[in-house]
Amino acid sequence: MNNEFTLSSLCTENFRKTINGKETALYILKNKTGCELTVTNYGAKIVSLTVPDRSGQWTDVVTGHASIDDYLSSEEPYFGAVCGRYANRIANARFTLDGRTYGLAANNGPNSLHGGIAGFNAVVWDVKRADDRSIELRYVSVDGEEGFPGTLTTIVTYELTDDGEVVIRYRAVTDRPTVLNLTNHSYFNLSGAGDPYIGDHQLTVNADYYLPTDGTSIPLGPPEKVEGTPMDFRTAHEVGERIDADFEPLVIGRGYDHTYILNKTAGELAFAARCHSPKTGIVMETFTTEPGVHLYTGNWMTGNLTGKGGRRYPRQSALCFETQHYPDSPNKPDYPGVVLRPGETFESQTVYKFSTE
């Protein structure tokens, strides 16, 4: 792979490293209009996503780092990553499957978060195929890794289409019953990565219900209606309009950090959310086959780390649309199932579509 610079000013040389005997690199995808998506096989992370604003100026809309070394030491280990084996939280870092209880790493208070201490975000994936438009990555998680049962083989494909879409496809198989929940954890700022606040972004979420949580962000009680609350984005509102409201779920989360139950048929690729920056005119629409989307507004970002281009990312300077099954589903049998068994194939798809207005 020749050394080169990307549209987002990344140097590919800074992504070459050997980690646990595997080589990392930066892969560049482009479409016919010139949009650019860069991906590293460390954590299957989206590193940059450059799209035009309303005036045609190229704008990188995801936070991230300029080198593998920065990712390895980052206080935000999930920037752009695929999270697994179980994205989001499992209460008390344990679950029971087929009568057996499995203990996990408690890496988020008493809970397990995003697959544990070394989840899918912190391993080197094998690149099975890469061209100008798409990349296919594969990771084999061995039986017992981070406490999860079964050897799980996961394939993630990123595609950049000529219609301005980033298409993410997931497939997984296992040799023993296990639990599985996969998502991409890109942090978006449609005014450009490094813009200090996403409060002016106009947001719509296609959900009548959300999951309230306890003080450790575990779903608590039945789903609640968004109607009449600051959680209601069924029509467009500025993200910052009600983010500091005296409303217990927002106080607990220091902002939005909640799963929305999407208005859709199970397995259907359907509209989940729309976000728009008035500064740049960039619009991002999210579609998914997953039953939920977890909205996170970067409430725990500190501004301490240095990102791409020397920029800092302060609190609430990005937001995430984590398409996924619900948190703590292995311990909540009334939620959509997350058990994968031998002979079955897990398949999921998410689309981030970009345009301007």
Contact call for residues 127 and 139 (beta carbons, < 8 A) = no
* DSSP of 2-28: ---B-TT--BGGGG-EEETTEEE-EEE
* Angle made by CA atoms 85, 91, 94, in degrees to the nearest 5: 65
CA dihedral 128, 123, 74, 286 (to 10 degrees): 50
| Distance in angstroms (rounded) separating the CA atoms of residues 181 and 290 | 10
In the set 114, 185, 294, 325, the catalytic residue is 185
Catalytic: 136? no
Which pTM value belongs to this model? Answer: 0.97
Contact call for residues 59 and 192 (beta carbons, < 8 A) = yes
pLDDT of res. 306: 86
Task: Give the CA diameter of the chain.
Answer: 59
How confident is the chain (357 residues) per 10-residue block, as mean pLDDT?
84 97 98 98 98 98 97 96 98 98 97 98 98 97 98 98 98 98 98 96 98 95 96 98 96 96 96 98 98 97 92 96 98 97 98 98
Nearest to 266 by CA among 199, 337, 321, 204: 337
| Distance in angstroms (rounded) separating the CA atoms of residues 43 and 123 | 5
pLDDT of res. 1: 52
| Distance in angstroms (rounded) separating the CA atoms of residues 121 and 146 | 13
What residues contact 248, with CB distance under 8 A and at least 6 apart? none
**What tokens were used for 197?**
């606040």
In the set 159, 276, 322, 325, the catalytic residue is 322
Contact call for residues 255 and 316 (beta carbons, < 8 A) = yes
Phi/psi zone of residue 234: left (φ > 0), alpha (ψ -120 to 50 degrees), beta? alpha
Catalytic: 185? yes
pLDDT of res. 2: 64
| Distance in angstroms (rounded) separating the CA atoms of residues 283 and 8 | 19
